[in-house]
Each structure stands twice: as structure tokens, then as C-alpha cells.
Amino acid sequence: MSDLPTPDAAHPRWPSTWVRALLPLAILVSLEERPLHGYAIAQSVGALGFGVPKGGSLYPALARLEEAGTIVAQWVPGPSGPARREYTLTASGRERLAAERSRLTELSSALAPASSGSARTSADSSPTPMIESPSPHPSTIGGPDDDGS
């Protein structure tokens, strides 16, 4: 039995930072099998454990993917109402999806415990040197917008 909570499409299963970072990839996964309109993409992303994204997150991500040439959008007649935009994965989008899946698999393997039988190379088994984080400069402690008052 998994220690992860049962996914509820309305609520993310994953930490919000992961959801924000991986939303474009989740959209590409949603479009892998067939073209979808925005609402159906949101539902599909929710079913993947990302929570159902709001329009303010989903549509800007769709626009960036369209600008990058990984998806195309076209207006199609609605079954019982106005036309809606339907998004389709392009050949470039399929390549990006495959590459990002591969990179995530590599990352997962790198983070797996050594005893899990992951496919680490002998070079990977050498101790990793500790890298100390530099102390923050006093002027940046409050963040970039902090005027120090």
C-alpha cells in the first residue's frame, strides 16, 4: 500500500512547487492520446494528481506551449454550443514529452536509495562533495524587493 494520499482530482497529490514546475509536462501527457479542449485538459491534469488547474495557471501554460511549437490550437464547433479551442500535440511536443520523461526517470534514479537496486554507475557511487551554501549578503536577506526599512 502506498504512503501517498489517494488522489482527488480537485486537490493536488504533489507539492505545489512540483505542480507549478511540471504543469507543462502534465499538459503534454494529457494531449498524448488525443486533442482536448481546455476544460478536458484541466480534468486530465487533475486526474494525474496535479489538482485541477485554474484558468489563470492553465491558459498561460497552454499559450507558452503553443508559442514553443509543442502544441497547436484550433477552433472547433462545440457539440451543443459555441466553438472552443482544441489543443493538439505536435511532433515537436512528442519529442519534448519523450525527452522530459527520460530526464525525470534519470532524476528519479539519481534520488533513489542505493539499496533499491537503481541503475547507478560506479562513478555515481563516489561520495558527493559537500557544497556549502554561501551566507546571504545582508542586503538580500529580506528579498529583492526589500528596501531595508
The string of pLDDT tens digits covering residues 83-141 is: 999 999 999 999 999 999 999 999 999 999 987 555 555 445 444 444 444 444 444 44
In a domain, 66, yes or no: yes
In total, how many domains does the chain have? 1
The three cell numbers locating residue 20: 507549478
In a domain, 138, yes or no: no
What's the mean pLDDT in 10-38?
94
Please give the residue range of the domain that contains residue 99: 16-106
In a domain, 88, yes or no: yes
Query: Which residues, including other chains, have CB under 8 Å from residue 136's CB and lie 6 or more apart?
Result: none
Gap between the Cα atoms of 35 and 52, Å rounded: 18
In a domain, 129, yes or no: no
Place of cell 525525470: 104
| pTM of the complete model | 0.70
Least confident of 39-48, 49-58, 109-118, 139-148: 139-148
CATH number, position 69: 1.10.10.10
Helix (H) or strand (E) holding 42: helix 38-45
Going by C-alpha positions, the residue among 67, 63, 28, 60 that lies closest to residue 44 is: 28
Residue 85: Cβ-neighbour burial (10 angstroms; 0-12, 13-18, 19+):
middle
In a domain, 147, yes or no: no
In a domain, 5, yes or no: no
In a domain, 118, yes or no: no
In a domain, 126, yes or no: no
